[in-house]
Amino acid sequence: MATRVRPGSKRCAVIGGSGFLGRHLVEKLLDRGYSVSLFDIRQSYELPGVTFHQGDLCDKQALLSALKDVSLVFHCASPAPSSDDRLLFERVNIQGTQTVIQACLDAGVQKLVLTSSASVVFEGTDVKNGKEDLPYAKKPIDYYTQTKIEQEKLVLEACNKPKGFLTVAIRPHGIFGPRDPQLVPTLVDAARRGKMKFIIGDGTNLVDFTYVENVVHGHILAAEHLRADSPICGKPYHITNDEPIRFWDFMSEILVGLGYAAPRFHLPYTLVYGLALLLWLLTWILHPFMSFKPTFTPMRVALAGTYHYYSCERAKEHLGYKPVVSLKEGIARTVASYPHLRRGA
């Protein structure tokens, strides 16, 4: 039987703490007086107040040493969506999350905050002001999303007040900010290869992009509101910037900020989606002989050509959430943080 860690203890663990979101979360937790046990498959930095544990989250023994004396766990580890590796997603996001839950129960952890994704309800067609009561996608757009759905269900169903184990899921969308290895680098790489001249569709589709510090703020609010008498136990919460923007305006602001031209010419959505599907099929057929990663995957085209923005009213009401950094400021800070990706650098 696990010994319960003293409630209110300011020692927490961040699984996936070496990653983009994880590191921003760790830094904010330290600012707020927490000490952090960081668990990740790789180490990317060192900080006073952080104890690093290297391991795979599918390994319960390795997790248990990181969860010693910890009352609160943030789980924000996942393979990158671009890996498109079904077996890896299933192993880490599904079986690995079961292992995380079991390790938390064995170690006497009281609160588990999962980083889920608003994409768990996205099927490649428009979502406008989507609320948390939308059903999970029946046809998720990729393996990443499919396993994020299973992962969220596992964590929310594990919430057990009599056992003193409380869980909550944060669903961010389109996280961006300094040190993001995905959005800005992919965009700049495409621009440098002359692939960012075109707007997919009519360019009016609104989307959420969420500055990383707002996502961190949502996670910490959720952790601090997670008590047996609170309505948030076992529930998911959208966390966004609450400022939907046209997908192509956002991309253009980043590109122009870094010295590249904004996309100008329009291409029909269905044509580009069809071509992306064909290319995906070709790479799948040819993958035993050659490895090739297309920039315009069906998932990216669907995200670039449809509406997908979400209501964060529930987070405002239950968590007192309000974005702490505006979209304009978030874009300016992000652009300033990538001097090495500027045109000509």
Ligand X SMILES: NC(=O)C1=CN([C@@H]2O[C@H](COP(=O)(O)OP(=O)(O)OC[C@H]3O[C@@H](n4cnc5c(N)ncnc54)[C@H](OP(=O)(O)O)[C@@H]3O)[C@@H](O)[C@H]2O)C=CC1
Ligand Y SMILES: CC(C)=CCC[C@@H](C)[C@H]1CC[C@H]2C3=C(CC[C@]12C)[C@@]1(C)CCC(=O)C[C@@H]1CC3
- Return the active site residues: 144
- Of the pair 5, 170, the CB lying nearest ligand X is at 170
Residue 300's binding partner among ligand Y, ligand X, none (Cβ under 5 to 8 angstroms by kind) is ligand Y
Residue 186's binding partner among ligand Y, ligand X, none (Cβ under 5 to 8 angstroms by kind) is ligand Y
11 DSSP β-pair partners: 35
| Whole-angstrom distance, CA of residue 336 vs CA of residue 159 | 41
**Is residue 304 involved in binding ligand Y (CB under 6 A)?**
yes
**Is residue 22 involved in binding ligand X (CB under 6 A)?**
yes
Note whether 258 and 186 are within 8 A (CB).
no
**Is residue 123 involved in binding ligand Y (CB under 6 A)?**
no
3-state secondary structure of 47: coil
- Of the pair 110, 119, the CB lying nearest ligand Y is at 119
**Is residue 18 involved in binding ligand X (CB under 6 A)?**
yes
**N- to C-terminal Cα separation, the chain:** 58
What string marks each residue from 162 to 181 as x (binds ligand X by CB under 6 A) or -? ----------xxxx-----x
**Is residue 186 involved in binding ligand Y (CB under 6 A)?**
yes
Q: C-alpha dihedral over 9, 11, 15, 16, to 10 degrees?
A: 130
**Is residue 62 involved in binding ligand X (CB under 6 A)?**
no
Burial tier of 281 (Cβ tally within 10 Å: 0-12, 13-18, 19+) = exposed
**Is residue 279 involved in binding ligand Y (CB under 6 A)?**
no
3-state secondary structure of 285: helix
Answer for which of 56, 85, 90, 224 binds ligand X (CB under 6 A) is: 56
Note whether 28 and 5 are within 8 A (CB).
no
CB of 86 to ligand X, least distance (A): 15
**Is residue 16 involved in binding ligand X (CB under 6 A)?**
yes
| Whole-angstrom distance, CA of residue 315 vs CA of residue 330 | 20
DSSP string for residues in 204-249: --EE--EEHHHHHHHHHHHHHH--TTSTTTT-EEEE--S--EEHHH
- Of the pair 49, 181, the CB lying nearest ligand X is at 181
**Is residue 297 involved in binding ligand X (CB under 6 A)?**
no
CA 97 to chain centre: 15
Residue 42's binding partner among ligand X, ligand Y, none (Cβ under 5 to 8 angstroms by kind) is ligand X
3-state secondary structure of 331: helix
Q: How many CA atoms lie within 13 A of 172 on its CB side?
A: 22
Answer for which of 9, 44, 295, 326 binds ligand Y (CB under 6 A) is: 295
CB of 46 to ligand Y, least distance (A): 27
Checking phi first, is residue 3 left (phi over 0); if not, alpha (psi -120 to 50) or beta? beta
Burial tier of 171 (Cβ tally within 10 Å: 0-12, 13-18, 19+) = buried
Q: Total binding residues for ligand Y by CB under 6 A?
A: 14
DSSP string for residues in 172-193: E-SEE-TT-SSHHHHHHHHHHT
Answer for which of 1, 8, 33, 42 binds ligand X (CB under 6 A) is: 42
155-184 residues in contact with ligand Y (CB under 6 A) are: 174, 182-183
DSSP 8-state secondary structure symbol assigned to residue 90: I
174-213 residues in contact with ligand X (CB under 6 A) are: 174-175, 181-182
**Is residue 300 involved in binding ligand Y (CB under 6 A)?**
yes
72-111 residues in contact with ligand Y (CB under 6 A) are: 81
**Is residue 77 involved in binding ligand X (CB under 6 A)?**
yes
Q: Which residues bind ligand Y (CB under 6 A)?
A: 81, 117, 119, 174, 182-183, 186-187, 190, 295-296, 300, 303-304
Q: Which residues bind ligand X (CB under 6 A)?
A: 16, 18-22, 40-42, 56-58, 76-80, 92, 96, 115, 117, 148, 172-175, 181-182
